[in-house]
Amino acid sequence: MDRASRQVVDYFAAEPVRVSALLRLPLIGLIGFLVWIWEVDSWLPEVYAAILGAYSLAAVVWAVVVFRGPVPAWGGRLSTGVDVLAVVALCVVSGGATAALLPVFFLLPLSVAFGDRPAFTGILGISTAACYLGAWIVYSKRDDHVGLPDVVYLQVGFLVWLAVATTALCFVLTRRAARVAALLEVRKRLVAESMQADERTNRELAEHLHDGPLQTLLAARLELDEVRERMPDPALDMVYAALNDTAAGLRSTVTALHPQVLAQLGLTPGVRELVRQYESRGDFTIDAELEDVGKPVSQALLYRAARELLANINKHAGATAVTVRMFRTGDRVVLTVADDGAGFEPSIVDQRVAEGHIGLASLQARFDSMGGAMAIDSTVGRGTRVTVTSPPE
């Protein structure tokens, strides 16, 4: 599995941990409220309060950690282990109020069932059943009047069944997640092959235009220039000017199809040349800060993004100032293009696709499929900022 797929997997692996961290907080509040209103003399009430306080503090700190940063690989197992220990300790030291807390055991296997670790889910479920039985054994030994009711064995059976059911659920979810990851990998490979095919087609077409029609046109222009020297004529001057314009247009088309500067020098010089071209043809100034990022694997995609975004500004934005930034962060390249033009409502991108205008939407789909990202921030009348992030290398 490549790094892009691994990052997707890591994201979804951390998601259950974050959900559990969020759901744990109201559960702790309910535990405290339940025992507070349950008018039963507790065993070791001070210890109970200390355990519940420490558990509450740890839960809040853990929620802040997992929502503000990456989740370590051991985070889910550790937090679930703390849940089991805390619930067992609370049940044991709370004495008579324990009967109200025991149903919490049934919630523990569910806290990891939507993860992607069937073995861990099964172990937790069986351990929960054992801890539940252990708590009742402690009560029966402590108080001769309590004993060990037969219904406890039935409840332990329910917990074992719950362990099996949640493990099966986790197994099914894991298989589905694996299928989704495989489909994403196939999609990424197909998009990469499609882009390579486009690049080959563009290169072949550019070579054909350069070696065929453009050379023929330049030869005709040279011959016409010789005729103009021998027989000056305003009509010939007009034809010569038309040939010049046509040759310039062909050169521009060849460059757009297969920019030599991109292939020879890399992405930064290629984008710098784009900036120069659009600044000369548009009614806006461009402030460009382009870090030398070498020749990243995705340079063709990033170059296409820069060209598409600058072309959109030139055609539609009515901007007076444009900012282009490009830099490397870790194993990714970030390109930002911003303008002070008319702006638009980002939600209309899908509508434009339905109308046949697929520029931005196609670009966004390519970045998403390759493991990159594209973010559009635009407000009508206040300009547009588009940030594209390359796939990891």
Q: Which two tokens stand for residue 67?
A: 């929502």
Asked whether residue 3 carries a pLDDT value surpassing 50, the answer given is no
Judged by DSSP in three states, 165 sits in helix
pLDDT in tens, 317-341: 888 888 999 998 888 889 999 988 8
Asked whether residue 387 carries a pLDDT value surpassing 50, the answer given is yes
Render 100-115 in DSSP notation, one character per residue: HHGGGGGGTTHHHHTS
Asked whether residue 12 carries a pLDDT value surpassing 60, the answer given is no
Asked whether residue 1 carries a pLDDT value surpassing 60, the answer given is no
Judged by DSSP in three states, 211 sits in helix
What CATH number has the domain spanning 260-389? 3.30.565.10
Query: Quick one: average pLDDT of 152-176?
Result: 86
Q: What percent of the chain has pLDDT over 90?
A: 3
Name which residue leads in pLDDT, 249 or 287. Answer: 287
Asked whether residue 10 carries a pLDDT value surpassing 50, the answer given is no
Name which residue leads in pLDDT, 61 or 8. Answer: 61
Give the per-residue pLDDT at 57.
Answer: 92
Name which residue leads in pLDDT, 35 or 17. Answer: 17
Maximum alpha-carbon separation in the chain: 125
Name which residue leads in pLDDT, 294 or 113. Answer: 294
For residue 15, what pLDDT band results from cuts at 50, 70 and 90?
Answer: confident
Name which residue leads in pLDDT, 314 or 13. Answer: 314
Q: What distance, in Å, lies between the first and last C-alpha atoms of the chain?
A: 13
Asked whether residue 88 carries a pLDDT value surpassing 60, the answer given is yes
Residues paired with 142 in a beta bridge: none
Asked whether residue 153 carries a pLDDT value surpassing 80, the answer given is yes
Q: Per-residue b/e over 76-113, b at no fewer than 16 CB within 10 Å?
A: bbebbebbbebbbbbbbbbbebbebbbebbeebbbbbb
Asked whether residue 284 carries a pLDDT value surpassing 70, the answer given is yes
What residues does each domain of the chain span?
A: 3-187, 201-256, 260-389
Residues whose CB is less than 8 angstroms from the CB of residue 257 and which lie 6 or more positions away in sequence, other chains included: 202, 203, 205, 206, 209
For residue 9, what pLDDT band results from cuts at 50, 70 and 90?
Answer: very low
Give the per-residue pLDDT at 146.
Answer: 61
Least confident of 13-22, 77-86, 383-392: 13-22
Whole-structure pTM value = 0.53
User: Are 35 and 42 spatial neighbours (Cβ–Cβ below 8 Å)?
Assistant: yes
Give the per-residue pLDDT at 60.
Answer: 92
Query: Quick one: average pLDDT of 146-169?
Result: 83
Least confident of 4-13, 132-141, 204-213, 312-321: 4-13
